[in-house]
Amino acid sequence: MPSIDLGWIVGLVSKINLATPTWDLFILLFFLVGSLVYGLSMGRERVVMLIVAIYMDLAVVNNAPYLHTFKANISLGQAFAFQITTFVSVFLVLFFLLSKTALARSFSLDDHGKWWQILLFSTLHVGLLTSVILSYLPPSALAHLTMVTRQIFTSDTGKFVWIILPIAAMILIKGEKQKQ
């Protein structure tokens, strides 16, 4: 059996300094707390509905014809705050509306889900949300993050992986549920 080199993880953990926290540490804590506490408290089906709301939100915010006009009227330093606020606002409205529709009933919200499915979907949800929000930040703000964080969440490959993984997980888990 091949050995796994965990030296890079030890190297990353050894660089964490709680006396002078960095944005990377906040992102890591958001990722861990969001994946564990948030996901386990909501359940699999609600987290999947949140993922669907993110996809719908991305479609709306990235293609809304008048948002670019408003963004052009805002100074360059505040444009990313407008984009993030718009994204989060539309996301919350979509989630609220989706929870009142037939889509919510089709997810059988009484089924909390298996612990590993909840953990998987909440990790994918928090990762996708982190990737989307960080993608709205200007390059000057991203420069303060470590290369690892930028590679995982904001690189073209990272963003693509965070977009695709939840879809793949929904397909695979749905297939498993149908077999039972």
**Which residue has better confidence, 9 or 156?**
156
Q: Which residue has the tokens 């006396």?
A: 19
Q: What is the mean pLDDT of residues 71-86?
A: 59
pLDDT for the residue numbered 16: 61
Asked if residue 95 has pLDDT above 70, the reply is yes
Please tell me whether the overall predicted TM-score, pTM, comes out greater than 0.75 for this model: no
Give tens-digit pLDDT for 108-160: 545 567 888 888 999 999 899 899 988 888 888 888 888 888 999 999 999 99
Give tens-digit pLDDT for 21-40: 677 777 887 778 777 777 77
Q: How far apart are CA 14 and CA 70, in angstroms?
A: 44
Q: Which of 131, 172, 173 is nearest to 30 (CA)?
A: 131
Buried b (16+ CB within 10 A) or exposed e, 127-147: bbbbbbbbbbbeeeeeeebee
Residue 23 tokens read as 């944005």
SS3 18: coil
Q: How far apart are CA 147 and CA 170, in angstroms?
A: 30
